[in-house]
Amino acid sequence: MQILLNNQSLNITEQQCRQPLLNWLREQQELPATKEGCGAGDCGACTVLVGRWQAGKIHYAAVNACIALLGSVSQCHLVTLDGINQGDTLQPVQQALVDFHGSQCGFCTPGIVMAMMAWWLNTPANPMQSPSDLSRHRHDIEEALSGNLCRCTGYHPILKAAASLAPFTLGGEACESTVVGLSTREVTTYLSSIDEPAKPLSYQQPLTEQQLALAIDAAPEATFISGGTDLGLEVTQQLYTREAYIDLSQVTQLQQIKRQDDVLHIGSAVTYSQLQDYIQTDVAQSSRAWQKLLPLIGSRQVRNKGTLGGNIANASPIADTPPLLLALQAQLILQAGTQTRQLPIAEFYTGYRQSVLAPGEYIRDILVPISDQQVHIEKISKRYEDDISAACIALVYELVDDQISQCRIGLGGMAATPVLAKHLQAALLGKVPTELDGEQILAWLREDVTPMSDVRASADYRLQVCANMLTHWFTQTQSNQVGGLT
Amino acid sequence: MRKLPQVESDAPLTDTAGVNVIGASKAHESAYLHVTGTARYVDDIPVPANCLSAYVGGAQVASGQITKLDLGKVWQSPGVVDVITAADIPGHVDIGPVFPGDLALAENQVNYVGQPVFAVLANTREEARQAGRRAVIEIQATTPILDLAAAQSAQRTVRPSHSLTRGDVAAAMVQAPCQLDIEQRIGGQEHFYLEGQVALALPQEDGGVLVYSSSQHPSEVQKLVAEVLGLPMHLVVVDMRRMGGGFGGKETQAAQWACLAALLAVRNQRAVKLRLGRSDDMQLTGKRHGFVNQARVGFDNSGHILAVQAQLHGLCGCSPDLSDAIVDRAMFHADNAYYLPAAKITGHRWFQNTASQTAFRGFGGPQGMMLAEQMLDDIARRVNRDPLSVRLANLYSPQRGMKTPYHQQVEGFPMQRIIGELVESSQYWQRREAITEYNQSQQRKVRGLALTPVKFGISFTAQFLNQAGALVHVYTDGSIQVNHGGTEMGQGLHTKIGQIAAAELGVDLSAIVVTASRTDKVPNTSPTAASSGTDLNGQATRAACQTIRQRLQEFVAQTHACVASEVQFTAGQVSWPSGKQSFAELVQAAYLARISLSSTGYYRTPKIYYDRDKAAGHPFYYYTCGAAVSEVEVDRLTGMYKVLRTDILHDAGASINPAIDIGQIEGAFIQGMGWLTTEELVWGNDGRLQSNSGATYKIPAVGDTPAQFNVALLQNSSNHEATIYHSKAVGEPPFMYGISVWSALRDAIYQAGAGQVNPQLDTPATPERVLWALQQASRGES
């Protein structure tokens, strides 16, 4: 396998493929600028840029190096802070951080610089016309830095530094890659020279479904990995590395999103960030719910790497997208060899971290209806950015003659798997929403789920917030208010 | 040196340093290194090719006797080079900083989950970590003590209780027209320094060892490494260039890892690095103490406090560590900014089967202050006045009284002025009205507002720690190296020290380099703690610079026939009535005339003393003061909340570097807010820390910074005491501005209950606790 690290083309050995990218950078490449703060994708001190072809240009995305296996970023342009440093002159992002006193202990700073670089490179010039106005693009900056913890500054000077930046402009031959001293042509030449993947058996990263089929034949016991934002923790926290991985994230056919009639066909390797971009201007009720949920999933770094298919297949009870997918009655297309089957997501989970997926079978597409019914979503957590939900509640319903005629309630964090609250759904049919009572909803809900008490919240709290949200959504004045935003 | 370097007669100036360098907002001395990733932390130091990695291993039991320790599988694990237990320690096993109780490796008894029982050395860090999990340790477990009730029923303390008393409390309490009782539970806090605990040890030719340790207290690490190894201290050197955050977590608790790395290095004559992973760091090292505070307060009908009787219960973990002083400081701050006419404040130090809790920014002060602030809010609600009015009525004042419960006279207390200006700039009263109106509209969200003051005592309460040394070298090209006893952990200490040296010698800031803290340059130093870094080391640096300046002045006076006091150092030039030359030229002339160009400096804080037997004295040289106003918005359905706006006015005296001081204030506020809101430590019934990662322990993220955040320094202020340029310490005091957020949350909940219920809100005030308090308020339960 090969990788373009800053301006250097390097070969990766089979042994190195399953190693965390951060360890390879710090220990084998002797590049200590990229820091390990937590080793678990929670702090962002290890943020690096991964450059790949996307929509006709090289797109640089911020990712956490600590939990990315090296094999997952082969065949791309990997940029670390070392590559950003060009002579004695600081990049505008770096200079702004100095000018606004944006570093104190400095340990998170390399990650902050890289996350801010990604934002700066990817932000169209237009919204940044008024650089001194923090409130104007505060939301964007917060999203860009959502995965970067700083324990010293309180973030205020960092926010101000980002807001002060003049737009990144493309002029002449310049492009994003020029900030690391390479022309687009050089990066392109490199990337196109390696479109044929090397295939070490311990980490295969096929680029097409045909290659994927061959990969599965070659290593039938291999573990599928997609974004790896959870599986990577096995390596760094449990100190457990699998014998072999097959990486689904670069399979072209799995990266497509298309809309057919009123159904979104989302390839399983579509990242949260890609879905966020795709759906950001859509006005359907369900799209607005996605617009509310997606920024609350992990951090920007996690959203850049994590995929929808991984979120589902990982079968975690606290996965963020399944509650909404359940409520929207999403269907999954599963592929095993030449066999394809389709089933509702409600039939996918079989137990705690278990699903119907057979060995060698993977999720190919997720079919998500676009709905203009009433769609609501709420993620409950201690912190807004980069937190795991104590509970996640999704509600889709419809009224006929002021009575509930259809109703689906998806719950996360409330049971061993993401679930539909079937008992509650049935009980609600025929009811007039404004006449519903919170105590009654809570009582029905208790018949569906018996959540756990753990480090995030007590069982009682989980039940109470679900009941509160549902009651609120049903009883609030019916209007075009969307996504439970009020 | 036979030939001196070439120097300019007009030194180029990069700024106006040496003229207005004090009070200038200079960038952090490492800012360029930070943003380019070239700032070196311990784990970034290039190591010799033969460097090995160490890790620790322990049992998953919180309390019990070790009955069997089988390390066979550890030895057999791939890459293992050495394994040690307490029996292999040649010197002291106990590395307690003040009192015994902290073991480099546990011997027979384990006192918390994961407590290191052995250390393993392997070729790579991965191999050492793997091997660390392979021991077979059998424990005869005993029931762990994991809360106040268990400690009380077992009567297990780590140190004796202590009381402060002033006035006849019992009589004043009985005579008070109103009384109320308070019980509050305050959670601890994980430091979450971004750089975890780490040490690198290199054996030296003389049997000694050089240790790079991420420590706030290199001298103590030096002493403990020497004791563990059975070496004299002069064979141990500790080097500390910078930490990736400390916050108190590296005051005592960096030592264990340094001692183990040093022992393995000397034993194997190989370089050894020991770096804890994040979850082990969280499980194995101490945190801010949780407290349970109980009090009865007597007051009059308009809310004036008449008597306070308080019990502060600190949950100290398994050893004394610094808990004696931490609980003392909580007691010293239970008054906060308010005069207590009669008070008895008792502090207890309870044992827990957890890692030993330790220093954390504020050092007990925040936990004491929480009691004062709850007291004021509760009184205000009882007498039906705005909490701000009741706070103002109770401040220390010449009319009301200026003596603290520990009999120190409060001097230089600008609180009335601070609150007055802040009420104005934050539009407190206008917003109070607007919020009341907003809340009456009964929307999904409810808002709250609170102003809380901070008065924080500056000095180590252990008198002998209030001393510092510095070593300044002037080289023959005019460049200057400054060494001092403080350590840099991001707080900008080295930047301020550089400014002080530049000002004293009248040179450009670029002429100064402040080096790594090293025990062979400045010996017997105090920890960089208690907000005292600049106060102590700044004065010592100043003294060293003045000695050199004086020698140069006398040399000029002799050679140019003038009076020494007429020789001026400014802007890189030295001038006297009949001439001038560049600083570098003068230095060369002085060198050739055999004038010493190096000097130590020394400082000890005057005036301070404390008689613990009488619980009276003057433990603090002065107080740093300020106040904060926060407005919050709470979701009635989920208990989730946001801080909409915070205004802070802080008295930094005559600030040496306003940008750095504002950075300290902003960062401390957010850290204090995190402590009281989202940062929740959860231990299971088995004593295991469940919140042991960034995924389960939530420090504030970027979106938690208030949308409106106005921080200002009190203008035209000057410390009435003769501190370095009359500045005031800034590291810890602003942490306690976070209390304004907690108080505002209680205000919002109070208003959600239409002012009928004074809400109980233990901390951290997670969305869950807030939701329960909201329910309580809306049901009218108190």
Q: Give the pair of three-digit tokens for residue A269.
A: 């390797």
Query: Are A42 and A118 within one domain?
Result: yes
Query: Is B200 in the same domain as B68?
Result: yes
Whether B277 sits inside 8 A of A148 (CB atoms) is: no
Specify the higher pLDDT residue, A15 or B611.
B611
Q: Looking at A155, A178, A197, which one is the last position of a domain?
A: A197
Tokens, residue B464: 């002998």
Decide if B721 is catalytic.
no
Q: Same domain, yes or no, for A281 and A187?
A: no
pLDDT tens digits, residue range B532-545? 999 999 999 999 99
For β-strands B272-275 and A374-380, DSSP reports them as unpaired
| Interstrand relation of A391-400 and A339-344 (parallel, antiparallel or unpaired) | unpaired
Of B43, B279, B702, the CB nearest to A146: B702
Same domain? B420 vs B554: no
- Token pair recorded at residue B604: 């000890």
Between CA A69 and CA A16 the distance in angstroms is: 9
**In chain A, which residues have their Cβ closer than 8 Å to the Cβ of B710?**
none
Query: Higher-confidence residue: A129 or B766?
Result: B766
Task: Establish if B452 belongs to a structural domain.
Answer: yes
Structure tokens at B10: 């007009």
Long-range pairs for A419-424: beta carbons < 8 A, 24 or more residues apart: A419/A326, A419/A349, A419/A448, A419/A449, A420/A326, A420/A327, A420/A346, A421/A445, A421/A448, A421/A449, A422/A448, A423/A447, A423/A448, A424/A448, A424/A470
In the stretch 212-241 of chain A, residues with CB closer than 8 A to chain B read 236-237, 239
Task: Tell me, yes or no, whether B480 and B596 share the same domain.
Answer: yes
User: Does A174 lie in the same domain as A261?
Assistant: no
* Residue A109 to residue B126, Cβ atoms within 8 A: no
Pair (B136, B245) in one structural domain: yes
- Count CA atoms closer than 13 A to B329's CA, side-chain side: 29
Closest by CA to B541, choosing from B487, B486, B484, is: B484
Q: Which candidate from B194, B491, B667 shows the least CB-CB separation from A107?
A: B194
User: Around Cβ B536, how many Cβ atoms within 10 Å?
Assistant: 30
Q: Using one digit for the tens of pLDDT, what is the confidence trace for B555-580?
A: 999 999 999 999 999 999 999 999 99
Of B31, B43, B699, the CB nearest to A149: B699
Tell me the ipTM for this assembly: 0.97
Average pLDDT, integer, range A445-454 = 97
- The answer for B364, left when phi > 0, alpha when psi is -120 to 50, beta otherwise, is left
With CB atoms and an 8 Å threshold, state whether B28 touches A382: no
CB-based burial of residue B380 (10 Å sphere; 0-12 exposed, 13-18 middle, 19+ buried)?
Answer: buried
Is residue A211 a part of any domain in this protein?
no
Question: With an 8 Å Cβ cutoff, are A32 and B33 in contact?
Answer: no
CA-to-CA distance for A301 and B60, rounded, in angstroms? 33
pLDDT higher than threshold 60 for residue A264? yes
Q: According to the model, what pLDDT value does residue A439 have?
A: 96
On whether residue B25 sits in a domain, the answer given is: no
Beta bridge partners of A51: A60, A77
Put simply, the answer to whether A468 touches B637 (Cβ < 8 Å) is yes
Say if A222 falls within a structural domain.
Answer: no
Domain end (from A162, A177, A197): A197
Q: What CATH number did the domain enclosing A181 receive?
A: 3.10.20.30
Is there a domain that residue B14 lies in? no
Do the chains contact at B37 and A109, CB–CB below 8 Å?
A: yes
For residue A486, is it within any domain?
Answer: no
Residue B408 placed within a domain:
yes
Q: What integer pLDDT is reported at residue A472 of this predicted model?
A: 96
Q: Are the beta carbons of B715 and B731 closer than 8 angstroms?
A: no
pLDDT digits (tens, 9 = 90+) for B111-147: 999 999 999 999 999 999 999 999 999 999 999 999 9
Instruction: Based on the fold, state whether residues A141 and A264 are members of the same structural domain.
Output: no
Give yes or no for A148 touching B (CB within 8 A).
Answer: yes
pLDDT tens per residue, range A191-248:
877 656 666 889 999 999 999 999 999 999 999 999 999 999 999 999 999 999 999 9
More confident residue, A460 or B780: A460
Q: Is residue A291 part of a domain?
A: yes
- Contact between B582 and B574 under an 8 Å Cβ cutoff? The reply is yes
In a domain, A440, yes or no: yes
First to last CA, chain B: 80
Whether B310 maps to a domain, the answer reads yes
Q: Are strands A203-204 and A245-247 parallel, antiparallel or unpaired?
A: parallel
CA–CA distance from A131 to each of A138, A461, B196, B360 (Å)?
Answer: 11, 42, 36, 37
Domain boundaries, position B226: 50-142+191-284
Nearest to B628 by CA among B736, B530, B552, B470: B736
Q: Indicate if B517 and B653 belong to the same structural domain.
A: no
Residue A390: CATH number of its domain: 3.30.465.10
Q: What is the pLDDT of residue A136?
A: 63
Residue B517 shares a structural domain with residue B647? no
Q: What three-state secondary structure class fits B16?
A: coil
Is the pLDDT at A129 greater than 70? The verdict is no
The number of C-beta contacts closer than 8 angstroms across A and B is 235
Please state, rounded to an integer, the average pLDDT across all residues of chain A.
Answer: 91
Rounded Cα distance between B616 and B320, Å, is: 23
Q: Which residues of A touch B242 (CB under 8 A)?
A: 105-106
B479 part of a folded domain: yes
Q: Is B347 inside any structural domain?
A: yes
Same domain, B272 and B303: no
Which of A82, A153, A455 is facing B696, going by the closest CB pair?
A: A455
Choose between A179 and A156: higher pLDDT: A156
CA distances B363 to B333, B357, B373, B734, Å, are: 10, 11, 17, 13
Mark B398-430 as b/e (b = at least 16 C-beta within 10 Å). eeebeebbbbbebeebbbeebbebbbeebebee
pTM reported for the whole predicted model: 0.97
Write a three-state SS string for A246-285: EECCCCHHHHCEEEECCEEEEECCCEHHHHHHHHCCCCCH
Q: Does residue A260 lie within any of the structural domains?
A: yes
Domain count for chain B, please give it: 3
Same domain, A57 and A193: yes
The parent domain of residue A30 ranges over 1-197
Q: Give B219's contacts (C-beta < 8 A, 6+ positions apart).
A: B238, B485, B519, B523, B524, B525, B526
pLDDT band for position B782 (cuts 50, 70, 90): low
Distance from CA of A12 to the nearest CA of B (A): 20
d(CA B435, CA B456): 30
Q: Tens of pLDDT along A50-76?
A: 999 887 788 999 999 999 999 999 889
The CATH number of the domain where B125 resides is what?
Answer: 3.30.365.10
Radius of gyration for the alpha carbons in chain A, expressed in angstroms and rounded: 23
Q: How confident is the model at residue A481 (pLDDT cuts 50, 70, 90)?
A: very low
- Output the CA–CA distances (angstroms, integers) from residue A274 to A267, A295, A316, in the order listed: 11, 12, 22
Q: B694 vs A237: CB contact, 8 Å cut-off?
A: no
Taking the CA atoms of B526, B530, B536 and B538 in sequence, report the sign of the dihedral they define: positive
Helix (H) or strand (E) holding B108: none
Q: Does residue B650 carry a pLDDT above 90?
A: yes
Lowest mean pLDDT among A134-143, B268-277, B334-343, B385-394: A134-143
What is the pLDDT confidence band of residue A137, given thresholds at 50, 70 and 90? confident
Task: Check pLDDT > 90 for residue B2.
Answer: no
Domain boundary among B583, B604, B625: B604
For A108, phi then psi, to 5°, come to -85, -15
B456, B365 contact by CB (below 8 A): yes
Asked if A146's CB is within 8 angstroms of B666's CB, the reply is no
Query: Which residues of chain A lie closer than 8 angstroms to B775, CB-CB?
Result: 464
* pLDDT on residue B181: 98
What's the CA gap between A304 and A63, in Å, rounded?
A: 7
Q: Which residue has the tokens 């140190």?
A: B159
Instruction: Give which of B41, B28, B34, B38 is closest to B495, Cα–Cα.
Output: B28
The answer to whether position A295 is within a domain reads yes
Q: What is the pLDDT of residue A198?
A: 62
pLDDT in tens, B348-407: 999 999 999 999 999 999 999 999 999 999 999 999 999 999 999 999 999 999 999 999
Could you say which residues from 255 to 314 on chain A have a Cβ atom under 8 Å away from some Cβ of chain B?
A: none
Domain termination residue (choose one: B262, B284, B306): B284
| C-alpha distances out from residue B257 to A39, B135, B212, B215, B270, Å | 19, 19, 11, 10, 16
Does residue A466 belong to any structural domain of this protein?
A: yes
CA gap B120, B395 in Å, rounded: 56
How far is the alpha carbon of A387 from chain B, nearest alpha carbon, in Å? 7
* Residues A396, A262 within the same domain: yes
Regarding whether B766 and B627 lie in a shared domain, the answer is yes
- Per-residue pLDDT reduced to its tens digit, B145-194: 999 999 999 999 999 999 999 999 999 999 999 999 999 999 999 999 99
Regarding whether A176 and A322 lie in a shared domain, the answer is: no
Indicate whether B400 belongs to any domain: yes
CA distance B656 to B659: 9
Lowest mean pLDDT, pick from A128-137, A464-473, B122-131: A128-137
On the question of pLDDT at B63 being above 60, the answer is yes
- CA of A287 vs chain B CAs: smallest distance (Å): 23
Using a 10 angstrom Cβ sphere, with 0-12 exposed, 13-18 middle and 19 or more buried, the burial of residue B667 is buried
E strands, B196-342, in order = 198-203, 209-213, 236-240, 272-275, 290-299, 305-317
Q: How many domains does chain A have?
A: 2
Do both A469 and A386 map to the same domain? yes
Domain shared by B422 and B497, yes or no: no
- The answer to whether residue A126 scores a pLDDT higher than 60 is no
| Nearest-10 crossing angle of helices B658-676, A156-164 | 120
pLDDT, greater one: B756 or A252: A252
Which residue from B243, B695, B771 is facing A40, i.e. has the nearest CB? B695
Interface test with A, best of B35, B40, B491, B741 (most A CBs within 10 A): B35
Catalytic residue among B127, B732, B768, B781: B732
Which of B198, B702, B770, B774 best probes binding to A when mutated, by most A CB atoms within 10 angstroms? B702
Among candidate residues B137, B146, B154, the one with its CA nearest the CA of residue B65:
B137
In degrees and rounded to multiples of 5, residue B332 shows phi and psi of -65, -15
Q: Give B-chain residues touching A103 at CB under 8 angstroms.
A: 28, 30-31, 34-35, 490
Q: Given this model, what pLDDT does residue B658 score?
A: 98
The fraction of chain B above a pLDDT of 90, given in percent, is 96
The whole-number average pLDDT for the span B608-616 is 96
Q: Please, what is the angle between helix A156-164 and helix A92-99, to 10°?
A: 140
Last residue of a domain, one of A177, A197, A217: A197
* Residue labelled with tokens 């079989």: A350
Residue B608 φ/ψ, nearest 5 degrees: -90, 140
Q: How far is CA B596 from CA B7, B552, B588, B591, in A?
A: 19, 9, 11, 7
Looking at B571, B604, B637, the residue that finishes a domain is B604
Give the three-state DSSP class for B185.
strand
Residue B47 token pair: 């190591």
Would you call B195 and A37 a contact, using CB atoms and an 8 Å cutoff? yes
Instruction: Give residue B17's pLDDT.
Output: 45
Compare all CA atoms of chain B with the CA of A380 and give the residue at the minimum distance.
Answer: B638
B233/B300 same-domain check: no
